[in-house]
Structure 1
Amino acid sequence: GEAPIPPPTIPSIILENLPTFNLAFCFEERLRLLETSFNEYRQTNQFAHAVFAIPGIVHQYMDQQMKEAVREAVQIQTDQLQDSLQRENDEFLRNIDENMKNVLKGLVKTQVKEQVSHILPRVEEFVNATLEAEVLTRSLISVKLYIFKTQKY
């Protein structure tokens, strides 16, 4: 076979004039552009994150508003129910009061009748005795007057 061919030697002057890696591929410029793009992306991403957060915020706000509206509706209903129950309770108490008055009137009438039936005979006795005494007193006075007048003549 053939002997391997050694690579050609490149004179150092040519190597010195070759562009650097940085220069050849514009590494610094590309890195700066990439950093700028990344910063823009981060800002855009923060904006996108904020935009994507809006529905959640709106949903949370609507939930809060709905809870508040339901709470107010329940409170109004509860207040109306309490008012209604209070009116019913007041009416019930008025009826009880009226019934108690009627029962007490009946009891008082009954007791008065009983007391009168016990007292009336005593009153009649007293009145009769007083009338008898009055009649006797008048009769006595009449007799005395008669005697007085007859003795004068």
Structure 2
Amino acid sequence: GGDEVSESEGESEEEETRQEEEESFDQIPRTPEESEEESDDEEDQELRLTFRFDERLRSLETSFSEYRQTNPFVDAVSAIPGIVHQYMTQQITDAVREAVQILTDRLQDSLQRENDEFLRNIDENMKKIIKGQ
């Protein structure tokens, strides 16, 4: 009794494997030969089996993973936005620092001229006072 069940399960798994191997060579997915009274879950399962979405997804994930491992440019390309951001941040920082320095220099020059003029006025006024005595 129990041997027959496991034997028939083994046979159905072999049939399924053979059918999947045959389907893997088909370019056009075959429509499963089932009754039209299937539930939505069974139809979904059949669609997944027919179009092999899970298998294709795993294959894509594997291929992408292998591609990332074998292609040295993938990590370099993915690092570019960070490098550009860092570069732009540094450029902006340098530009701001330079602008602040220019404005500081101009202000300092302006204040120095005012101070020089103030000291000249004091000097002239002191000379006038001394002459007037």
TM-score (norm 2): 0.48
- Structure whose residues are more often helix by fraction: 1
